[in-house]
Chain A
Amino acid sequence: MFTFIDTVIIGLTSGAVYSLMAISLVLVWRSTRVINFAQAGQALLSTYIGYSFIGLFDSYWIALFFAIVLGAGVSALIEILFMRTLFKRNTGPIAGVAPIIATLGLLGLIHGLIGIFMGGKEAIIRPPVSNVGYTISGHTLALSPLKLVIVSAVLFLMISLSFIFTKTNIGLALRASAYSPEIARLAGVKVDAIRTLGWALAGAAGAAAGMLQTPNGTGALSPDSLEFSLLLVLGFIAAVIGGLESLVGAVIGGLLLGLVLAFVIMYVSATLPFMTAFLLLLGVLLVRPQGIMGRKVGRRA
């Protein structure tokens, strides 16, 4: 019984982090129609930025703040330097995919740069609150203060981002610029600035994912850590399962993925999570190609 509850808790917590990664992918997709493969690289970079600030201020929370702000800044810069140029200058047959392929290049670039500058160094981020589980009638649960912090941080971010997207003027401008840049521009929206903002929000969410993921795992930070490969692949799968359009879908996709993987690891085999994730992706796509929360309506001319 306790094993079951623990598996659920572990699944929901790691799922929450995948959700956050999925949210950042959805934000970029919704605001610029680009799939950002560099997102995990940006998250890793932001986490290293956070790590440096922990050294400076000796406070995880101040470091988290700077990681999020600078993560947003880096993301905005990438949009301005690369995506904007590609979007404007590319009108050929690969116009639609060029920015997406460029993000693959960026992933390699960021990864390489981190390797050069931080590769040999040992970097550890210690949990800001205890990761020792609560004890109930002699049994120590997997549920710890850190896991509670992670889950509530993800829920808070999802709710506030959803609110921004659906209820505010900025959100309306973000959606309009994504669906139809030309009409948005004719309506007076400064589409370039809005696209940059979409990337900045995504960078912030990715930075939060990296900063929460690291202490929840081993705490070790490395350009080649399995945790960041997992973040990229699983965040991406979670976003697609959720329908790529919806923040709520991203969270549901992430939590579902986290739960399934936790149960597979606990009850079947610890070597299967990657394969299981891909099977789940294929299964969902075959049964519901539009994703869990995606709407089926196509665009009419």
Chain B
Amino acid sequence: MTLIVSDLCVDHGAIRAVDHVSMKIEQGQLAAVIGANGAGKTTLLRALSGLTPTTSGTASWQGHNLLHAKPEKLVRFGVSHVSEGKSVIPELSVEENLNLGALWRRNASEAKETRQRIFETFPRLEERSTQLADTLSGGERQMLAIGRALMAKPQLLLLDEPSLGLAPLVIAQIFQSIRDLTTRMGLTVVLVEQNAMSALEIADVGIVLNLGRVAATNSAQSLIADPQVRAAYLGY
């Protein structure tokens, strides 16, 4: 019951974006993948959910091969991906965005129950359930994007830069929710973040990517304490 990535390589034309990355994330863990812009974080995540074709290597979740599978199929294996930049559909209402995440289950009463639980986590979404997603603030959109992913009742949640473009206070709130959800729902989470400190603070383990390679892997606390990591990624 783990996410195992070994020797994964992804090329963008002549550029190797992910270079022989291996990692192992245990079930129930929240793993932060941190690194500078262009370190290959997003590419790694997109490869894991079938959005980007890979060059070599393997990745598996609970025995399912993650590579060469369509994203719509991975959802059915319990893998949900929240892509970069508040992945909501602005032309649909908040409720429709949420319902979209559970359509494939074809079980309306279960979807309603799941939606109610998501509203308990993010009450703002319930207040705005009939509004178009276009009218939401950045933070609310991120909540909606995560909520939509949770509607699929995933076991593995892939989050791409949820802090992008958000105010510090909102980031703190959303990261706290991510931590709570992980613990409460027994999720396994891969959180890709440029905001290294916020991510490591809520994570169990951390993986530092540099130019597509794994530069360091350790428990989140050790990484926060590591002088080299502090200097390079935490800014002090």
| Residues in chain A within 8 A of chain B (CB atoms) | 169, 172-173, 175-176, 179-180, 182-191, 297, 299-301
Contact = CB atoms under 8 A, between A and B. Distances in A.
Contact of A183 (B70, B76, B88, B134): B88
B57 interface: no
A183 B160 CA distance: 13
Interface in B111-168: 134, 148-149, 151-152
B72 A188 contact: yes
A191 B72 contact: yes
Interface of B: 49, 51, 70-72, 75-76, 80-83, 85, 87-92, 96, 99-101, 103-104, 106, 134, 148-149, 151-152
In the A-B complex, list the 4 residue pairs whose CB atoms are closest, starting with the nearest. Answer: A188-B75, A188-B104, A187-B100, A185-B71
A187 B103 CA distance: 8
A182 B49 CA distance: 11
B235 to A, nearest CB: 27
Given A182-B51, A182-B83, A300-B134, A187 B101 contact: yes
A301 B83 contact: no
Given A176-B96, A299-B91, 7 more contacts: A172-B92, A173-B100, A175-B96, A176-B89, A180-B89, A185-B72, A297-B134
A191 B71 CA distance: 10
Mostly, the A contact residues are helix
A187 B152 contact: yes
Contacts of B104: 187-190
A190 B100 CA distance: 12
A185 B92 contact: no
Contact of A301 (B85, B89, B100): B85
Given A186-B80, A187-B152, A191-B72, A175 B90 contact: no
Contacts of A301: 85
Given A173-B103, A188-B103, A189-B100, A179 B91 contact: yes
